[in-house]
Amino acid sequence: MILLQTDGGISGIVLLGTMGMLALAIGMIIFIIFHQRKVIRYQMQLQEMEEEQQKLLLNASIRWQEEERQRIAADLHDDAGPLLATARLYLNENLVHQDIDTQLQSIYNAKQIIDDTIQLIRNISHSLMPPTLKNFGLESAVNDLFQKISGSGMLNASCRFHDYRERLRPEQELLIFRVIQELVNNILKHSSASFIHVTQNYDDKRFFIRLHHDGKGITQTDFEKLNKSAAGLGLKNIQSRVKVLRARIEFEKDISKTYFKVTLDIPVENMELIA
């Protein structure tokens, strides 16, 4: 009550001023606490979304691995298995009781089948790790892939590496190659494009690979949407490989609206060159 006294005529002003200042100070502190709580909630939501995305990517990666294993198992079981079984039939124990011509014919047939089996296993092995990529690098592997595509006559595929003097580490090359392969695969499957062109460039800050095509494509929004949905296994694989590369991928429609482009952008600090 002492503050309500008007002794000297200053109590009222001081009381109001003190209350006002205190109200302002407390209001500011409350605002900060509430703002911080809001930020925390927002960040937690972001974290949850990120975890969900990670889970999707992980699932996609596991599914992709399982599909790959099933494909290899099917190749081995359906193709290599019967071939080797047939070769075994030719070389069975009754062969020694046959005449010499039949023996030679059986051995020749068995040799043919074993050669076919070797070729089949080689193909499976090449599909796992392209030999051109391993021996000659990314540029040659992409060239090789595009020559095969162009050779089929379905569309015109070309590539140009402007600055690829130093090779990246094999793991990074394989990741980039798989991304290109998946993108090309998607273009072949869904876009009805008449050409695909890949360019590679390199500057002080980044290494980038750009893929153009004139078919039906997707934009970054579509890519992100598909990535968050249960569908789009191939795109999720691209995303997880891009993540491993610590790179950035951007899907966009060209300004001229005539073709789509996809840019894989790897910051130089994340690039690992062969020593």
H or E stretch covering 89? helix 81-90
Contact status: 126 vs another protein (CB under 8 A): no
Any idea which residue has 């990666």 for tokens?
Answer: 61
41 to 80: interface string for another protein, x by CB under 8 A: --x-------------------------------------
H or E stretch covering 249? strand 248-253
Q: Which is nearer to another protein, 10 or 85 (CB)?
A: 10
Give the integer Cα–Cα distance in Å for 142 and 129.
13
Contact status: 128 vs another protein (CB under 8 A): no
Question: Which of 9-17, 160-168, 197-205, 257-265 is the region at the interface with another protein (rule: CB under 8 A)?
Answer: 9-17
Count the site residues for another protein by CB under 8 A: 26
Give the integer Cα–Cα distance in Å for 8 and 177.
87
Any long-range contacts for 269-272 (C-beta under 8 Å, 24+ apart)? 270/245, 270/246, 271/168, 271/172, 271/207, 272/168, 272/169, 272/171, 272/172
- What residues from 11 to 30 belong to the interface with another protein (CB under 8 A)? 11, 13-14, 17-18, 20-22, 24-26, 28-29
Q: Where does this chain bind another protein (CB under 8 A)?
A: 2-3, 5, 7-8, 10-11, 13-14, 17-18, 20-22, 24-26, 28-29, 32-33, 35-36, 39-40, 43
